[in-house]
Structure 1
């Protein structure tokens, strides 16, 4: 099993030229131990997605995901259905729920085989124990599953009817990248916008970003921070240390459960857990990791513009990190402690630029960037320190309580997208200082003998403080500093009923989120909506105020036959908000809406799914959209309306084993989506006839995004290949009687009412291809990755003679193709050496949603050593 886990765990969308890391095992499954009570107590948990339906099909999925061989007489399963199991649990607990109400029990007969038996004939043998006579009937063997925890998590998106993605720890270790947002490079439909302007992450999912449209969390906790970036719009800010991530789960479109307000999707960064560190069959374990990287200098000298063309050698540079993590577990308790420190200097750009990029002003007086090839990119350094502590107590029949704490402390460079002209973003700014404290509490109650109870309760609190280096310049007095305290929680339950029509799964719950935003107020000239100025007006860089959001949700899924299931439900979302300080003069806001959803899934063949779904969502306006005032630029609009989403999707999933040879695996996922967002919020002039005057946040009729996503791979053990691509068919914004159009990339836009909306428009197509081989009994992995993106949808860069200069708020860049190489050598399961080269051909390029004229890193060498104990 160890080999199988390693093989499938390495399959990820690895990336960026080798990239160091790995070892942090995302998972050894508990199915590799002897069939004893001791093993049952220490088995690692696994993420399962075994759907309700015919028992034989559910057991097949379970076996594959658990990495177990499941055997039983065909007659035992004939005509029986199962409620299935979805969630994280030990194989024993998951199998017990799958067999509820069937009159069957199970027994482990060896380290990797479980036998399904008639409970009455078995004499009521305890779960996990062999029958009294020790006998085992293997004729016929009905289903075989092999893999492990990592393989199960990687398989889950291809067995889930809907657009979901998973990024494993192994994938992160192979492709650490330069910025945290690089984790999404190989994920279809997701791009980290403005990925080089600071330490935060601002994800774009299928064209939606900013203002809370994407619900981004760390261990389920929101940070709910945003900053104003002028012509680029508002940027959501989430901070997480990549070395502390255990895995990333992504769901696109409005949530049918917890996730109020996130109409674009939900991204959850799961931090490290004991399962990521402890070897199979052990009670404790740990990981020590160290890495070095080149192509970087120090933090730069404040106020100085670095010279062009002064890059160090390939293996020279100021990039290093180290971390240590230790975990232990018993039958009733488990805990983990981790510490990480990472320093990275300003990186250097690539050498080979495409024709048409302007480094000096053109005939129109504009340039794209003045940070030239092989040059230092100022304000891109980081010095981050993180601490993680988690402990879980388990008692009774399926009860547990987990408490967690995470500290993130980063002194980092930051680029002001508000200063949109290239020459304003090229000098070194004072460093920013960001601190985040996150507290979580998670209670679970999931008794083995009650299919009506699978209770989950989450409570969390995050405290974010930001001292912006951008606010330390002359006359600014740090007014961009702010803090955000967010508290929230949710409770839910999943019940399974055996009805005359089939297995019915009902999920329901409620959620509450409270945001508390503080900001430094200062006095100065502010423009009044009716004309004139108030020279003693109060304003702020961020928004002082409070916002509450709440929701109740319920859904059901009915397995009518072994090939057809239908589902549906809805959610009631609401909010209330009020401004504080100067914003208290505006009225309080509140509202609510019911949003339905429906889905149908057809399984014509084992391992093949066809699905269709429709979901609606509701996004309340943020505090910034309702109450923010900033000088002569932005005035509050307390009448801005909530956004309403309507998402349509049809898709195909394929997950098959033994396709071309024994032991191989093929995965494929295709999805067509059409998403409409009514009352879409843009920043636009209060007077359309004066597009460079006073702005506010206003609604247009709608925004539409239509496209196709494809992803998948083939793994034959000794070699593997993976690919993902997103292609947009149509993107348009519709504003009343003006009709529908795509926002102009030109600063002098004929329709200024669309404001900064063009900066959220993704490339027309983007994607990646990863391939590799595993040699010497899979101890050595060699491979490479190509990732690419076109111009933004509707862009005209293709004709270099008509390339626009970057003097405005819609930034556009040429297409790119970047090659990475990676190598990983595993020595005796304890020591892993990773080497890599990113951007092998040293391209000078801008990422898919770059927001300023700072190119991505050039050729970069990385290396790391990871030791597990």
Structure 2
């Protein structure tokens, strides 16, 4: 691949040499632009580079976070290209109220919202498809796997979701949108190509992505494809010490098709493929994740009918190879090579949007249903009697029927949502004598189901065209998982045994949100734009599921007695004057959630305070953008790993990281970017990183230079 990289880089350099200073400047922020105008600019790629105002496309259609009375945030492709090339979680950590599990070795993404993560508490999706793959083993109880090079945008909703994607999502949802036809083909053309070539220091090496798309004359059909490859080696931390197990060998790709048989009917097909080799959880691993989608949108000439329906299939397979400790004195304890954990999921959703009036009241109502079913198989191809270790097999499903209606009258908006969600769990497990849950001894069958109604009500006031305060009350729930109810087996090397608990109740969250949006144009200059979004939340979580260690080497999951309180403040601001821009994201989060047991979940907590400040300036008719980003993370509490609240907590030190970047846009579609992460080469332990291991394993990447050439034509 290195030869290909050099050839591509040479071609990019030659193209750049031909570009002249007569380039058309990027469109500056303009006074009075509407959401629809901003949406069109984003789709055409006409917005200024790294504009903090323009957002991406979400599963439910384009939403501007600064005009939506709900705690939502979006990341654009520019931000992902600059700050998320190595880890998409770095982009999420720059959103208020949002964090990520930063596993040093595992490349998967685990989204944390307001301190809640793992086991489906956050519904993480790729192109609207749930990613329910989970395993038990000193990690976050759930990862989604996607190549950042193929990501076009990320949309996060914090809190209850009363439409598609909200079933069983206790804390909220995150949808990762991969590139499609409109991201590749420029406006007015019937074909397009997109290629990026990146070189990075600190053993990042070369990474490449190439994409192409074709659209038929008249636009009745279109197809797109992309492929990406990267193979970074172990990086060095700020002290110059190599951090083992941080290499990857990632090959990914996608294919998408769009068809319009009639003017009011659109059909979409897609496949996103991921194949990665890495070392985590003491073993070399191979991870394959394949996501397939099919969607139909019927939008006839009627305000009462706009139907969107999707079916999808997801297959994630993790295979354990040799232990990284093979041949060492401790190698005999690691006998899980050959383990395979596979999750096959299939689901669908269908919703209709209607618009009508009741007198002077404008009404928009969304009504639909969603369902997803997982089949989990855990086995061992080398030691069949070991099966999946502590990872059980089984079947689960989650679904819901939902309705959300928005009433607009004068300056008042009322959004009333109600959903009925349900779940099922099926499988077999073994219970031994003296198990802490009191399960009868022997092979047992699990056949569990339950459901509940969850309301959501928002009242927003629009006293001025620039101000929108709102208040929300909501409820949500999260069912127990296969891994929590049918846990079993023992820890390698002995000393700890794990027991099932089929009596677990679903987690329930109830609480309030108080927020406000401010949108001002022409604040300091004639054509500048200012946006502010602030939100305070107070939530009670009942029946929180956590692991406990009872002593004597016995561990299992329980419902934590009583309720836990989550509360915090979230702030997101953005300013763009064309020649200069800046944004601030701040989170203050408090919780009294108990720690998980070491090995059954993340024992560290979301930091109390997280601040991200981004700023920059544009020169040469806005073709050149130069700026930087500062990330501050306060001290992070780490639990004792025994699942007992308020005991033996330790603090990981706070840290501040500084990044710098520059981008130059040529008129022929070529972009050249340079950025430096961890500019001052700090040695630090990322918050929400590993549970166990030496301090070396938990240290983050040292200073890294990245050079990127991106060509679109």
Please give the range of the TM-score, normalised by the shorter of the 2 chains: 0.7 to 0.9
1:409 aligns with 2:275: yes
2:73 maps to: 165
Offset at residue 255 of structure 1 (A): 1.3
Tell me what 2:581 maps to.
Answer: 720
Structure 1 residues 564 and 820, CA gap change in structure 2 (3 angstroms): same
Q: Distance in 1 between matches of 2:386 and 2:705?
A: 52
Go from structure 1 to structure 2 and tell me whether the alpha carbon gap of 1:482 and 1:455 turns closer, same or farther (over 3 Å shift): same
Specify the SS of the correspondent of 1:236. Answer: coil
Question: Offset of 1:692 from its aligned partner?
Answer: 4.4
Shift of 1:167: 0.6
Residues 1:326 and 2:187 are matched in the alignment: no
The separation in 2 between residues aligned to 1:439 and 1:290, in whole angstroms, is: 27
The DSSP-based 3-state class of the residue aligned with 2:66 is helix
Match for 2:130 among 217, 222, 228? 222
Q: Distance in 1 between matches of 2:256 and 2:597?
A: 48
For 1:349 and 1:513, the matched residues in 2 are separated by 41
Q: Deviations over 1:466-503 (max 9, x none)?
A: 11347675451425421110111100011111111411
For the pair 1:868 / 2:712, whether they are aligned, the reply is yes
1:679 matches 2:543:
yes
Q: CA deviation at 1:229?
A: 3.0
Partner of 2:591: 731
How far 1:700 moved relative to its partner? 2.7
User: What corresponds to 1:636 in structure 2?
Assistant: 500
Checking the alignment, whether the CA contact within 8 Å between 1:565 and 1:602 is kept in structure 2 is yes
1:568 aligns with 2:416: yes
SS in 2 for 1:761: coil
CA RMSD of the aligned region, Å?
2.9
Query: Partners in 1 of 2:343 and 2:638 — Cα distance?
Result: 37
Sort the Cα spacing of 1:193 and 1:781 in 2 relative to 1 into closer, same or farther, 3 A: same
Q: CA deviation at 1:413?
A: 2.5
Change (3 A) 1:434 1:64: closer
Matched, 1:845 2:705: no
Matches within 5 A, 1:387-406: 387-406=253-272
SS across alignment from 1:700: coil
Task: Please give the secondary structure, in 2, of the residue aligned with 1:604.
Answer: coil
1:623-702 superposed matches below 5 A:
623-631=482-490, 632-685=496-549, 687=550, 690=551, 692-702=553-563
Q: Of the two, which has the highest radius of gyration?
A: 1
Larger proportion of strand: 2
8 Å Cα contact 2:230/2:248 also seen in 1: yes
Deviation string for 1:154-195 (max 9, x for gaps)? 970001110101111111112234333222131111111133
Q: SS of the residue aligned with 1:243? A: helix
Count of residues in correspondence between the two structures? 636
Deviates more, 1:823-832 or 1:706-715: 823-832
Structure 1 residue matching 2:686: 3-state secondary structure: coil
**Match for residue 23 of structure 2?**
none
Query: How much has 1:841 moved relative to structure 2?
Result: 0.8
Query: Structure 1 residues 812 and 383, CA, compared in 2 at 3 Å: closer, same or farther?
Result: farther
Are the aligned partners of 2:583 and 2:613 in contact in 1 as well (CA < 8 Å)? yes
Question: Could you say if the C-alpha distance between residues 709 and 182 of structure 1 is closer, same or farther in structure 2, counting changes exceeding 3 Å?
Answer: same
CA distance in 2, matches of 1:721, 1:411: 38
Bigger shift: residues 575-584 or 458-467: 575-584
Q: What is aligned with 1:445?
A: 298
Q: Distance in 2 between matches of 1:446 and 1:239?
A: 33
Counterpart residue number, 1:281: 188
In the superposition, relative to structure 1, how do residues 66 and 696 fare at CA in structure 2: closer, same or farther (>3 Å)? closer
Match of 2:316 among 443, 464, 483: 464
The correspondence of residues 497-512 of structure 1 with structure 2, limited to 5 A, is: 497-512=356-371
For the pair 1:203 / 2:107, whether they are aligned, the reply is no
Work out whether residues 811 and 850 of structure 1, in 8 Å CA contact, stay in contact via their aligned partners in 2.
Answer: no
Structure 1, gaps ≥5 residues long: 1-20, 22-56, 68-87, 91-110, 112-146, 297-317, 351-372, 417-428, 525-535, 734-741, 744-751, 797-807
| Equivalent residue, structure 1, for 2:618 | 774
CA pair 714-494 structure 1, distance change in 2 beyond 3 A = same
Does the residue aligned with 2:134 lie in a helix, a strand or coil?
Answer: strand
1:204–1:760 CA contact under 8 A, matched in 2: no
Cα displacement (A) at 1:582: 4.9
Q: Please give the secondary structure, in 1, of the residue aligned with 2:268.
A: strand
Partners of 2:472 and 2:555 lie apart in 1 by: 42
Tell me which of 246, 252, 257 is aligned to 2:163. Answer: 257
Structure 1 residue 619: Cα displacement: 1.1
8 Å Cα contact 1:640/1:698 also seen in 2? yes
State whether residues 540 and 628 of structure 1, in contact with CA within 8 Å, keep that contact through their aligned partners in structure 2: no
The answer to which of 515-524 and 503-512 deviates more is: 515-524
Deviations 1:509-552 (A, max 9, x none): 0011100000016999xxxxxxxxxxx99873322000121210
Change (3 A) 1:716 1:590: same
